[in-house]
Structure 1
Amino acid sequence: MTLDDAGLDLIFRKARSYNGYTDAPVSTADLEAIWELMKCGPTAANTEPARIVWCTTPESKEKLALVASPANADKIRNAPATAIVGMDMEFYEKLPKLFPHVDARPWFVGNAAMIESSAFRNSTLQGAYLIVAARALGFDVGPMSGFDNAAVDAAFFAGTPVRSNFICTLGHGEPATVFERLPRLDFEEANSIV
């Protein structure tokens, strides 16, 4: 089974990064539905290190906007929701639940380089799944990295082992806020078959 052209257009070909949204709300049930889809995406050893803070109130959006680049601050303020995709640097503590057939905790405990690379790689994957899940459910997104990670961590993850990876606005996109699609590399420019 494959997606039809309409599904592929929705998720990839006609999907865009939005810079502004309509006033249509995003509910807690919508955010839960996105999570229920995105959590199904694969991560190495089922680590699932992503931890998401959804900024939906004016106060939380303003707190995030204040530590974002000027170009991104208004996007955050005006979006119905913005996800802070974080990475739990102690994700391995949940492995007895998530990877129960093998004791995988020793693979990570005390190995800072392995923890760092696994948390970053797999939370990035989960953030990409968030984008695909949101689009599949009819939402538009605007992923971005223009923010102060240390300030976001202090404001939203203080006292936890979670660190920010990237942020992503979410809602029903306002078509006038999208730029023309930029060029993409051709297969031959980015791929080799050996």
Structure 2
Amino acid sequence: MTLELDTVAQDLLFREARTANTFTDEPVTDEQVQAIYDLVKFGPTAMNAQPLRIVLVRTPEGRRRLVDQMSEGNKAKTASAPLTAILAVDNEFHEELPTQFPHFPGAKDVFSERPVREAVASMNGSLQAAYFIIGIRAAGLAAGPMAGYDAEGINKEFFGDGEHSVLAVVNIGKPGEDAWYPRGPRLAYDEVVTTV
């Protein structure tokens, strides 16, 4: 064995973890979500940029507003999930950066142009979103990440300031009946990795 993580944890986080499409009605608590965030906030990002912002959709009104923006195949599962998180990036994340970067002098100047900030936000927010999904699994919950939605509609409905951009919508909870589609194939090591 060349991995330090024990096989039970490997299975929980990767091998046995699946994208859930149905959920039980068991609630997901604020304490669970905070524990997830407090674990995954340590994931690496470039220059310690932390652009991910999370909107937890719990209220019936919030759920209706979100479901209206989902593609047809994602409406029912989003309507019935015990918790849904909208993962977005703050394109003005640089305002939250520390004033001093001992390892990156002048780093704030790098983000003076909006296209640069948006590219950095998208890459680093995607990293943070992946860690968030792993954190959900670490909490013993299932995640149902989705990209089938009207991004412009979600941005307008939930982030009217024009400073945030949705990355993904993730249903969260305990898996319900017939939660899994058949597992899709994965590329083999030799199909992905080259050495130069």
> Structure 1 length normalisation: TM-score?
0.94
Amino acid at match of 2:49: T
Shift of 1:103: 4.2
Identity %: 37
* Contact 2:155 2:162 survives alignment (8 Å): no
Cα distance between partner residues in 2 of 1:126 and 1:90: 16
Q: For 1:122-167, what per-residue CA distance to the aligned partner results, in whole angstroms no more than 9, with x for missing partners?
A: 1011100000011011110001100011100111111251111111
Cα distance between partner residues in 2 of 1:172 and 1:45: 35
Q: For 1:50-94, what per-residue CA distance to the aligned partner results, in whole angstroms no more than 9, with x for missing partners?
A: 011011222211110100001001111111111111011111111
1:163 to 162, 165, 177: 165
2:55 to 37, 53, 56: 53
* Contact 1:55 1:61 survives alignment (8 Å): yes
Cα distance between partner residues in 2 of 1:20 and 1:137: 18
Q: How does 1:123-162 map to 2 (within 5 A)?
A: 123-159=125-161, 161-162=163-164
Closer, same or farther in 2 for the Cα pair 1:15/1:175, shift >3 Å? farther
In structure 2, the residue corresponding to 1:37 is in which secondary structure? helix
Amino acid at match of 2:148: G
Gaps of 5+ in 1: none
Match of 2:94 in 1: 92
| Number of equivalent positions | 192
2:77 matched to 1:106?
Answer: no
Match of 2:46 in 1: 44
Gaps of 5+ in 2: none
Cα distance between partner residues in 2 of 1:190 and 1:40: 27
Shift of 1:177: 1.9
Amino acid at match of 2:59: T
In structure 2, the residue corresponding to 1:176 is in which secondary structure? coil
Cα distance between partner residues in 1 of 2:8 and 2:162: 42
Q: For 1:22-59, what per-residue CA distance to the aligned partner results, in whole angstroms no more than 9, with x for missing partners?
A: 11110111111111111110110010100110112222
In structure 2, the residue corresponding to 1:71 is in which secondary structure? helix
Cα distance between partner residues in 1 of 2:106 and 2:27: 43
Q: Name the structure with the higher helix share.
A: 1
Aligned-CA RMSD value: 1.4
Shift of 1:112: 2.6
Match of 2:120 in 1: 118
Shift of 1:117: 1.1
* Contact 1:54 1:84 survives alignment (8 Å): yes
Shift of 1:113: 2.6
